Chains A and B, each alone.
Chain A
Amino acid sequence: MKLNAGAVTSKVWMGAVFLFLYMPIFTLIVLSFNASPMVTSWGGWSLRWYNELAKDKEIISGFLLSLEIAFLTACSSVVLGTLAAMSLHRFKRFTGRTLFAGMVNSPLVMPEVIIGLSLLLMLVSVQRLFGFPDRGVGTIWLGHTLLGMAYATVVVQSRLQEMSPSLEEAAQDLGCRPLQVFFLITLPLISQAIGSAWLLTFTLSLDDVVLSAFLSGPGSTTMPIVIFSRARLGLSPSVNTVATLTVAVVSIGVLAASIWISRAERKRAAEMAAAYRAA
């Protein structure tokens, strides 16, 4: 009887939290099909705001720019994050390790207004001295990479920790050079973590408002900046359609990726088991 009450509490609590997490998203989706120009009063089903969106040049060009920046950010964050994770995992002591770890982890929690302002003020100072860089895609990319690298490091580092060192040691014993060990053993083993880090930093960059607002210049207005400026003014049907499309793409992407990752994981586990049996 007592156990039953516990099980009920657990189900109710978890259900309530999931409702809390998902209700706003469902509301966005349903209201994006609202025929009425008053966002929150229901006027029947319609696709009219999707038609409007297709003609919305500001959002479309912002979206293309955001995609470009997100792609660049994901690539650079993953490279820097993997290097940082390798450094922290492999080398337990080197000069400045505490500072290094602090600098990698701090952007995870540091308020974005501080990161954005300080990066901008530095870039402006550099520009006054040397005449470059101008604010635009490059400077946004730099800021997003700082943030993305922190997330990529956490993801890759936790994978490195789960990994047994015996495979790398075996390769070394069999005469592999450090670089060969990395490309033949380590990289394939952490490739799924690198894949999820790439996706995570891609979506982070696609979504960022604050850093982009500080670091953008004339003509580099990303999609979140457009959405944010409309959301500040009030409710706007265009925002709902963008949200619905985002949710659709992300859910499909994340589902596909997680199915692919778990399949690859199973395959690898089976291969490892077969290898151990053979030995």
Chain B
Amino acid sequence: MATATHSLHDKLTGAWGRTLVISVPMVFLLIVFLLPFLVVFKISLSEMDVVFFKDVLVWKDDVIAITLRFGNYIGLTQDSLYLETYLSSIKFAGLTTAICLLIAYPFAYFMARSPADMRPALLMLVMLPFWTSFLLRVYAWKMLLTDSGVFNNIAMALGLISEPIKMMNTPFSLVLGMVYTYVPFMILPLYANLVKMDLRLLEAALDLGATPWQAFWRVTVPLSKSGIIAGSMLVFIPCVGEFVIPELLGGPQTLMIGRVLWDEFFSNNDWPMAATVAVVMVLLIIVPLALFNKYQAESTAGGRA
């Protein structure tokens, strides 16, 4: 009898504890992550009053009036600058992702095949820049690349060039800065994937007559697909809306939507327009985002298998 009440008590505290453990982070996320998106969507359908945006819902004479203004969305399609900026953001983010993959795949591959006692040190060397300020590392490129910067100074002192090469505020400096910042995000999931790979599969392929090159393309690459997808999404999605790097290293030719959003908000004070830009940006990244979440769910679910 005593044990029966004991276990009933345990079950009740267990169920109660379970609800508590789940609901604390859940409620936090609903309020701080999901609700703000709904607010942004609502505000994107309003328009700017003199100092504040007009409310979508108005309670007057016992009647709720809903006024949806699609003016911001129409404005977005009519001004070709917005469309161009979205396309150019996707272009630069895609280019950055491709270059990161080209650099990171061989790197992660060599790292995973290096002696086991070397790997923790190599991993730490990849992570260490990640721990030091991102803002300061982006700023460092500005010093290296400007007209009177370190690269131009050295090249001129060596007599390689007679006048500075324009590198700053070009597509080159933007993509370089984004590759530099995001390449560790590509290396880490690829490494985690490649280091777990069962090398017997490669041996089998070689025994069956595949050349090393064939074995690489037909065994290693397909097996690392989830690492490639995870790394690419970790680079592509934040790059689409990147603000700090285009602001510090970009120039007039490098239209990026993150900067447009920032300017609508901080310079033009047009909050509904900024909200509209944000809603459309979310629509752009929703498919990659879903892919990323699917991968995360799979990698955590499959972790125990």
Contact B238 A110 (CB under 8 A): yes
**B residues 227-258 in Cβ contact with A at 8 Å:** 233-234, 237-238, 240-244, 247-248, 258
State A113–B293 Cα separation when bound (angstroms): 20
Q: Is B196 an interface residue (CB 8 A)?
A: no
Whether a CB of chain A sits under 8 angstroms from the CB of B73 is no
Shortest Cβ distance from A247 into chain B, in angstroms?
5
Question: Is there an interface contact between A40 and B143, defined as CB atoms closer than 8 Å?
Answer: yes
Given contacts A28-B136, A91-B22, contact A103 B40 (CB under 8 A): no
A65 within 8 A of B: no
Residues of chain B within 8 A of A67, CB atoms compared: none
Contact A104 B244 (CB under 8 A): no
Pick the most buried of A41, A117, A242: most chain B CB atoms within 10 A of its CB: A117
With a cutoff of 8 Å between Cβ atoms, the chain B residues found around residue A22 in the complex are 129
Q: CA of A224 to CA of B138 in the docked complex: distance in angstroms?
A: 12
Tally of contact residues, B, Cβ under 8 A: 90
Which of B137, B141, B238, B293 makes the CB contact (< 8 A) with A111? B238
Quick one: given A87-B22, A111-B240, A203-B131, are A80 and B28 in contact (CB under 8 Å)? yes
Cβ contacts B1-22/A at 8 Å (1 or 0 each):
0000000001001100110011
Given A21-B129, A111-B258, does the pair A100, B29 have CB atoms closer than 8 Å? yes
Out of A9, A17, A143, A149, name the residue touching B25 (CB < 8 Å): A149
Q: Are B243 and A27 in contact (CB under 8 A)?
A: no
Q: How far is the CA of A223 from the CA of B282 in the complex (A)?
A: 29
B36: Cβ under 8 A from any A Cβ: yes
- Interface-facing stretch out of A45-53, A130-138, A250-258, A271-279: A250-258
Chain A, 184-234, CB within 8 A of any chain B CB:
200, 203, 206-207, 209-210, 213-214, 224, 227-228, 231-232
The chain B residue sitting closest to A31, CB to CB, is B143
Q: Is the CB of B300 within 8 A of A157?
A: yes
With contacts A84-B25, A91-B22, A101-B293 taken as known, whether A113 is within 8 angstroms of B241 at the C-beta atoms is yes
Decide if A83 touches B25 in the complex (CB within 8 Å): yes
Contacts of A122 on B, CB cut-off 8 Å? 35-36, 39-40
A154 to B: closest C-beta gap in Å: 8
B271 at the interface (CB under 8 A from A): yes
Provide the bound-state CA to CA distance between A119 and B39, in Å.
9
Assess the A209–B244 pair: CB atoms within 8 A: yes
Give CA–CA (A22, B128) in the complex, Å: 9
Rounded to whole angstroms, the CA-CA distance of A108 and B244 in the bound complex is: 17
Residues of A within 8 A of B141 (CB): 24
Question: With contacts A83-B24, A109-B289, A113-B241 known, is A25 near B132, CB below 8 A?
Answer: yes
Nearest chain-B residue to A103 (Cβ)? Answer: B29
Min C-beta distance of A157 to chain B, whole Å: 6
> Does A174 reach chain B (CB closer than 8 Å)?
no
CA distance A242 to B136 in the complex (A): 9
Question: What distance in Å separates the Cβ of A235 from its nearest Cβ neighbour in chain B?
Answer: 6
Q: Please report which residues of chain A, range 9-34, place their CB below 8 angstroms from some CB of chain B when the two chains form the complex.
A: 9-10, 13-14, 17-18, 20-25, 27-28, 31
Q: Known contacts A25-B129, A111-B237; is A117 also within 8 Å of B40 by CB?
A: yes
Q: How far is the CA of A92 from the CA of B242 in the complex (A)?
A: 34
B26 x A91 contact (CB < 8 A): no
Is B194 in contact with chain A by the CB < 8 A criterion?
no
Interface code A81-112, partner B: CB below 8 Å = 1, 0 otherwise? Answer: 10110111111101010101111111111111
Q: Interface readout for B280-304 with A: 1 if CB under 8 Å, 0 if not? A: 0110010001001100110011011
Distance from A5 Cβ to chain B, minimum over Cβ atoms (Å): 12
Q: Given A146-B33, A157-B300, A231-B135, verify A80-B233 contact (CB < 8 Å).
A: no
What separation, in Å, do the CA atoms of A241 and B128 have in the docked complex? Answer: 19
Q: State whether A210 and B293 are in contact (beta carbons under 8 Å apart), knowing that A40-B146, A149-B25 are contacts in the complex.
A: no
Closest B residue, CB atoms, query A118: B36
B136 touches A103 (CB 8 A): no
A114 with B282: CB separation less than 8 A: yes
Q: Is the CB of B265 within 8 A of A117?
A: yes
For B150, the chain A residues whose CB sits under 8 A away are 27, 31, 40
Asked, given contacts A114-B241, A121-B36, A242-B136, whether A14 binds B142 with beta carbons under 8 Å apart, the answer is: no
Q: Can you name 16 A-B pairs with beta carbons within 8 Å? A: A14-B107, A27-B143, A40-B143, A81-B25, A94-B22, A96-B26, A105-B292, A109-B238, A109-B292, A111-B240, A117-B265, A118-B40, A206-B133, A242-B136, A243-B140, A254-B128
B: which residues have CB within 8 A of A?
10, 13-14, 17-18, 21-22, 24-26, 28-30, 32-37, 39-40, 43, 103, 106-107, 110-111, 113-114, 120, 122, 124-129, 131-137, 139-144, 146, 148-150, 153, 180, 183-184, 233-234, 237-238, 240-244, 247-248, 258, 261-262, 265-266, 271, 274-275, 278, 281-282, 285, 289, 292-293, 296-297, 300-301, 303-304
Which chain A residues have a beta carbon within 8 Å of chain B's beta carbons? Answer: 9-10, 13-14, 17-18, 20-25, 27-28, 31, 38-41, 80-81, 83-84, 86-92, 94, 96, 98, 100-115, 117-119, 121-122, 125, 142-143, 145-146, 149, 157-158, 161, 177-179, 200, 203, 206-207, 209-210, 213-214, 224, 227-228, 231-232, 235, 239-240, 242-243, 246-247, 250-251, 254, 258, 262
Q: Which are the 7 A-B pairs with shortest beta-carbon distances?
A: A111-B241, A24-B140, A118-B36, A10-B110, A122-B36, A84-B25, A161-B303
